[in-house]
Structure 1
């Protein structure tokens, strides 16, 4: 009972004394790093009050309820009052603002009696040699002797989110902490740079502009990472003129819109969204204009709200294109989505809507790196996707061409068959009647004058019969394709010795249409050779291997530089090839793959 009473009295005493606690009192002990959990702070809404006037308003300073103060995007100045007592053996202490130094104006003052001494004043977003420690981190010297005590004032303004988190550190601690942070930064920027160089080489080889747009896009967000982490003015002083979120983020947003329109082919996939990008390009110029008019905090205020509108629009573009059947859009959605999640997580942490931990603190890092990896793969997938589409279209065109040629040749064969039947059944029969009538008159009257006429008629009948056979080779149905090809070569070269070095049987492996095609092909080649004046023997080889027919002719003909297009078309229908070697002999080799 007594223990419980003592506990209640202790709690009551703590609550009574809580309002009288000095929140600005900070005691440094023997530790290399000491977080500042409580302090007093004041907001100067005008941002222009003199330091002494602020210091004399001690009663207006409010105790902090958290180790982090967040004012959001504002033109006001944040004043922080710190009463520091050094009870450690170290004297080289520094005040470190842990959040990235994206502050505009920074003032560090010390009260000595009734005076306020300026320890350091500079612009955080400009390269300035008056900074005591040249580093990407914001370090302000304390210089308190052991058992010393002093009162300090810190003034901060920002063109971005005004947010502060303080700790007391030694230089050794800063270097130890920075080794891990710099290692993480190096990995993130190394990945972005590596993918940037990779896409530059791919653009050089392919001349595909999405690779170039993506290069500028990731470099812009990489510069934003450098800026946000305090490296921009430290590593690249000449780029200090863009050391402002009101310039860097809109430029990165413009490049993201250009990349999106090119990668997703919005002009072809959705013209309404493509016109919407034109409007967003104009909107992106608004924060830049405000920044150039010295309204940096207003520009960042616009960015904070426009950012989610931009993100939503980019995701809508991805989903609409994916719905339209554009497959690379899935990787675009994943890449942009990871970037959006990472930046949103860190932004919500800055607004104290999410807790501060390793995931929220590195949101911009893992969002940017995962986006770079996924979108680089998306570009490679896009290239293969279009190559596949082109191959499919090419194969489709070849298939349609073959169908057209097949239909054309089929119509030609039908027409040749009709003409052959008319020659045989009509003209041929009439010529036979004329010949027979002449022969009868010649025998009846013993008139030798009709003998020449009868012989001429017989020659015409023979020529008509040969023409009929050429138009419609009926022997294909009677003796088969193998013997028909042999007969064709023998009749084509009546004045030459024809030698068959090999003659394989191919009757059983061809369809009727394919047999006719091979016959016509060899017929055209024989006609071509006859026109080239053949001397000597003609050697022919017909080989039948697995799924392949090889025809080889060796002659002593003249040069064969040009051959009819019909030969090429018929070879294409059989998925074959034709080669002609002309040295001592003319060697014509035909490889055919029927049934493919």
Structure 2
């Protein structure tokens, strides 16, 4: 071995057993590089400090540290290895002197792609060539944003490789166990649909992700080409595990029911702290992230423990299972931390207590969830028993009540029978009354119709009869004239005398006026007869003896016939404004529609008379229009109008605003039912004091 300047009297790490791993806890020399500027040439012969016994632990630091390790090979092979079991270390530079002036250098760590490593392993492994029977110094420069803990071990190539295999087997078993718990509880969730299982599955996934990240397998298997995420995941996965763990606890132990609301909200403060850590990690502020995570994890551990104890003391059994599982995990964490601070020795047991503790926690929590099924089953059985007891009690009450009810039913049946008889009699009376009222409305309309016809026919008949007497007188005069002309014609007078006698007689009877009068009397009688014929024709159209048959009819013709019948109501003081479109024939019951028109025109005339009396100024307007599927008839007036209450009740049977004896209140109800029978509509526009407008819409074809 060449002499190294500055080397102190530290014993070498002697490798003699080819099947044994040697933990480097003594003989480690170190130099702090605060500026990260020292090179191998600067430190190869520099003065080193000797690390006390135990694993080198430089905690959270911004400095880089150089380590010098003296290896002595007493085995039969010259191929040794130096392993650093800290896969989350950002960067490690390894230097191995070769001969008198050569140097082998290699860089690796979480800040370099995984492919940079000389040996495929989750740990950082550096091959070292040391001739059997000799010794050699090797150098490491390490720096990290996470705590700089450097658990080093050395041994032959075979020993380190075998140890690596055992590590892979352990982590494979761990992952298999965790995935088995995850899948088992997922299938249980599909059966029970209990949300607690989903939160448990989320927590297990977060724990798995955190463990494979801290063990280096995440970098090796999931993101080997992403050094940035390799470093960031170290700070992202623990908060994720903490958040999902707290959510699982809250749902599994029903914290909203078992602890005060303010205490339950305390979890949200911890969520915020973890959120700050995640944001800081994504921003690359790893020192802040580590400190926040360290503080929050301590608070979470204590808070969850206290909450579980409080709920357990209230008698909620699942909290007891959770306490056992959580304590098992915390024990594993404490042992792991004590090992890092050299309070406990570094060995296989202390190196793997955290994953073992997390596995124990997951298994115990799975048992707790299984026990939760038993609890839920017992609660269900209890509720079912209570329900059965309640049903039996209800059945007993029902049996007792049935006796009373049967007696009451008998009594009520008799009373109902008597009431039913009374109601049937009342119903019969009501039907008779309704029939009488409908007949009364018909008779009222008939009386109105008869009065109108009598009045309308009376005028032209009077005109005829008044002309008959004078016409009879004139005819008698003409007959006398014929006799006089016969006498003059048979007399012995000369032709001149006869002509003079005839002319004198014509002058005596005023023959020219007689001709004019006879012509006027005949014209008057003809006009009276024509008017009477027109009225009779209108009556025939209005009455429609085939009113129960659906047929095509002209709405304008029906309106005109109705106006003829009601002409006497207008009394020459109410103006009629007609605006008829050239309507197509529609399918309808013509007689029934004419009755509707009669009722509406009568109401309009009544409203006008109510406002104007016998004075002029009233206007009755009738307009017809049509579109591709409907005919629209608008009947309006400028009478008294209606208020909102009257409009709402207008079509109610027996409702009327007329004085007693002037109406039955059935006219508009019958009109409404008639329009409904035609599948039409009646809309009303009315303003009190200004008039009313009825808009009737009828389909062209009845479907």
Are 2:266 and 1:280 equivalent residues in the alignment? no
TM-score of the two chains, using structure 2 as the length reference: 0.52
- Contact 1:125 1:233 survives alignment (8 Å): no
1:64 equivalent in alignment to 2:51:
yes
Deviation sequence 1:518-567 (CA, Å, 0-9, x none): xxxxxxxxxxxxxxxxxxxxxxxxxxxxxxxxxxxxxxxxxxxxxxxxxx
Q: Which residue does the alignment assign to 1:386? A: 376
Match of 1:76 in 2: 63
Equivalent position of 1:141 in the other structure: 127
* Deviation at residue 277 of structure 1 after TM alignment: 1.4
What number of residue pairs does the alignment pair up?
403
Task: Note the C-alpha offset of 1:197.
Answer: 0.8
The partner residue of 1:194 within 177, 180, 197 is 180
Q: Tell me the distance in 1 between the aligned counterparts of 2:70 and 2:327.
A: 46
Q: Is the 8 A contact 2:57 2:148 kept in 1?
A: yes
User: In 2, distance between residues paired with 1:328 and 1:193?
Assistant: 23
> Which SS does the other structure have where 2:151 is aligned?
strand
In terms of mean alpha carbon deviation, does 177-186 or 325-334 score higher? 177-186
Deviation at 1:189? Answer: 1.9
**1:256 aligned onto 2:245:** yes
- RMSD over aligned CA atoms reads 3.2
**Residue 77 (structure 2) aligned to one of 90, 107, 117:** 90
Are residue 361 (structure 1) and residue 348 (structure 2) matched?
no
Matched with 1:562 is none
Q: For the Cα contact (< 8 Å) 2:82–2:152, is it kept in 1?
A: yes
TM-score (norm 1): 0.61
Match for residue 214 of structure 1 among 196, 200, 204? 200
Residues 25/388 of structure 1: CA separation in 2 closer, same or farther (3 Å cut): closer
Deviation, 1:139, is: 0.8
Mark the runs of 5 or more structure 1 residues left unpaired by the alignment: 1-18, 422-596
Shift of 1:134: 1.2
Give matches, 1:107-146, under 5 Å. 107-110=93-96, 117=103, 119-124=105-110, 126-146=112-132
Counting only pairs closer than 5 Å after superposition, residues 541-552 of structure 1 correspond to structure 2 as none
Trace 1:10-49 onto structure 2 (pairs within 5 A).
Answer: 21-23=8-10, 25-26=12-13, 29=16, 31-33=18-20, 34-44=22-32, 46=34, 48-49=36-37
Cα deviation digits, residues 219-247 of structure 1 (max 9, x gap): 22122222222222112226762554311
SS of 2:116's equivalent?
A: coil
Q: Encode CA deviations 1:200-259: one digit per residue, 9 max, x unaligned.
A: 111222222211211121122122222222222112226762554311111111111111
CA deviation profile, 1:20-74 (whole Å, cap 9, x unmatched): 9522755555745444343343353635223247506722x11122141112233
**1:265 corresponds to 2:271:** no
Equivalent residues of 1:242, 1:248 under 8 A apart: no
Alignment match, 2:544: none
Shift of 1:175: 2.5
Question: Partners in 1 of 2:319 and 2:72 — Cα distance?
Answer: 59
Q: Does 1:175 align with 2:161?
A: yes
Equivalent of 2:190, from 198, 204, 208?
A: 204
Shift of 1:140: 0.8
Q: Is the 8 A contact 2:96 2:105 kept in 1?
A: yes
Instruction: State how far apart, in whole Å, the 2-side matches of 1:210 and 1:139 are.
Output: 42
More deviation, 352-361/266-275: 352-361
Higher relative contact order (CA 8 A, sep 6+): 1
Q: CA deviation at 1:361?
A: 2.6
Q: Deviation digits for residues 369-419 of structure 1, max 9, x if unmatched?
A: 211111111111112212321332232133223323423432443576799
- For 1:374, what is the secondary structure of its paired residue? helix
CA gap 1:419/1:382 in 2 versus in 1, 3 angstroms: closer
Please say if residues 102 and 125 of structure 1, whose CA atoms lie closer than 8 Å, have aligned partners that are also in contact. Answer: no
